[in-house]
Amino acid sequence: MAGVQSAVALRESGHEGPVTVVGAEPHPPYDRPPLSKAVLLGQAEGSAFDIDFAALGVELMLGREATGLRTDAREVDTDQGPVPYDALVIASGAEPVTLPGTRGVPGVHVLRTLDDVERLRPVLERQHEVVVVGAGWIGAEFATAARAAGCAVTVVEAADRPLAGALPAEVTAPMAGWYEESGATLMTGARVERVEEGAVVLEGGRRLDAGAVLVGIGARPATGWLAGSGVELGPDGAVLADAWLRTSVPDVYAVGDCASFPSARYGERLLVHHWDNALQGPRTVAARITGASMDPYDPVPYFWSEQFGRFVQYAGHHTGADTLIERGEKAAPAWSAVWLRDGVLVALLAVGRPRDLAQGRKLIESGARLDAGLAADPAVSLKKSVVEPAP
């Protein structure tokens, strides 16, 4: 998404020179969210972008992996030779974190690319016993698909609850029940000692039969190829971009999952591994390259997940919030939660309440202050709980 949208945004911004997209995968550029849903279940053959690259004058160099960057020569090294640039947009995304000792073990999978999905489809078709390591977003979405395909699913999570790294316990409490409702088994506080062919062995010796194992324990920026380039990376491996997504090297920019950026709205640097960030960031980059005016990049982060028959949406960034307000009962099919900081709405989680999300996202954008009592009433719209105009 980030690479393709950078090319499209450059054309929309009036750039008339050559535009080249270099990608390691051999497939035409595609959208990732459908991979863990319709494409995985065989309900769609693919998710290629409906973009006429030839008509846009965009050259695609597919199946060509970036191996290094020489900024003095203004060249990207690839496994098929160097590619020169005048301006470079780094959009190399993220790569799944793997379990130590699983390389080469048959039946161990990750879910990130179209090729990953092609390897996983037969797993679902044969209704294997599946063990999912990690009860995060990807683990939940894959478990949902595997149950829909009729697989027996066990999800192993080292933390004491699902989504422990993403959301606080107050809002994730009901999510453990979603697994049980779907017929999946969720094991929390369970650490993997090793993975063998046909089995996952937990610390303590318990052995789980596994026709296939899906590892969903996070992703990290795919920036190893930038070593020695002079492009500054953070401790998390992300490219340290500035408020206009420029890197530490002239004429080199970074967008999407591989880059962090400073947020004035939240007072910290954000690394956002979600689709909307990959869609929005390229507009800022294209404006800088073409010389158009553009405000600093400071979006309200947004993402969604479809899991266990529920549509889960999140907007904002709740770290630093001082008040959590629940709207509705979490045992109900639809509910939401909002986070305030000094009375200002900074984040919102909506389960089956898209209206809350739509209104909340706009209110976060405007810096609206809410009446906590009104915001706690799910019958009152969020926009009617605003107590004063946004500053």
CATH code assigned at 315: 3.30.390.30
285 near 14, Cβ under 8 Å? Answer: no
- The CA angle 230-231-234, to the nearest 5 degrees, is 120
Q: What is the mean pLDDT of residues 173-198?
A: 96
Whether residue 13 is contained in a domain is answered as yes
How would residue 113 be classed by pLDDT, with cut points 50, 70 and 90? very high
Indicate whether 390 pLDDT > 70: no
Domain boundary among 290, 320, 335: 290
288-307 per-position pLDDT tens digit: 999 998 899 999 999 999 99
Whether residue 117 is contained in a domain is answered as yes
The reply to whether 121 and 211 lie within a common domain is: yes
In which residue are the tokens 């004058």 written?
57
Whether residue 298 is contained in a domain is answered as no
332-388 per-position pLDDT tens digit: 999 999 999 999 999 999 999 999 999 999 999 999 999 999 999 999 999 999 997
333 near 174, Cβ under 8 Å? Answer: no
Whether residue 297 is contained in a domain is answered as no
The reply to whether 127 and 184 lie within a common domain is: yes
The reply to whether 229 and 81 lie within a common domain is: yes
Q: Which domain holds residue 323?
A: 309-388
The reply to whether 263 and 180 lie within a common domain is: no
pTM: 0.94
Indicate whether 389 pLDDT > 80: no
Whether residue 100 is contained in a domain is answered as no
Measured CA to CA, the distance from residue 271 to residue 167 in angstroms comes to 16
The domain tally of the chain equals: 3
Whether residue 300 is contained in a domain is answered as no
Sign of CA dihedral 378, 348, 318, 314: positive
How would residue 258 be classed by pLDDT, with cut points 50, 70 and 90? very high
The reply to whether 234 and 371 lie within a common domain is: no
- Report the relative pairing of strands 323-327 and 335-341 from DSSP bridges: antiparallel
44 near 64, Cβ under 8 Å? Answer: no
Whether residue 337 is contained in a domain is answered as yes
Q: What is the DSSP-derived secondary structure letter of residue 29? A: P
Per-residue model confidence (pLDDT) at position 52: 97
Indicate whether 280 pLDDT > 60: yes
Percent of the chain at pLDDT above 90? 93
Per-residue model confidence (pLDDT) at position 44: 83
The reply to whether 204 and 113 lie within a common domain is: yes
Indicate whether 93 pLDDT > 60: yes
The reply to whether 229 and 367 lie within a common domain is: no
Whether residue 145 is contained in a domain is answered as yes
Bridge-partner residues for 239, per DSSP? 233, 259
Q: What CATH number did the domain enclosing 188 receive? A: 3.50.50.60
Q: Please, what is the end-to-end C-alpha distance for the chain in angstroms?
A: 34
The reply to whether 87 and 123 lie within a common domain is: no
The reply to whether 204 and 271 lie within a common domain is: no
Measured CA to CA, the distance from residue 132 to residue 128 in angstroms comes to 12
Percent of the chain at pLDDT above 70? 99
Per-residue model confidence (pLDDT) at position 293: 87
Q: What is the mean pLDDT of residues 307-319?
A: 96
Per-residue model confidence (pLDDT) at position 296: 96
Domain boundary among 215, 246, 266: 215
The reply to whether 118 and 175 lie within a common domain is: yes
Q: What is the mean pLDDT of residues 3-13?
A: 97
23-61 per-position pLDDT tens digit: 999 999 999 999 988 899 888 878 999 999 999 999 999
Residue spans of beta strands (DSSP E) within 229-363:
239-240, 252-254, 259-263, 268-271, 302-307, 310-316, 323-327, 335-341, 344-351
What does the mean pLDDT of the chain come to?
A: 95
The reply to whether 138 and 235 lie within a common domain is: no
The residue among 148, 113, 128, 105 whose CA lies nearest residue 34 is 113
Domain boundary among 164, 194, 215: 215
How would residue 391 be classed by pLDDT, with cut points 50, 70 and 90? low
204-251 per-position pLDDT tens digit: 999 999 999 999 999 999 999 999 999 999 999 999 999 999 999 999
The reply to whether 174 and 137 lie within a common domain is: yes
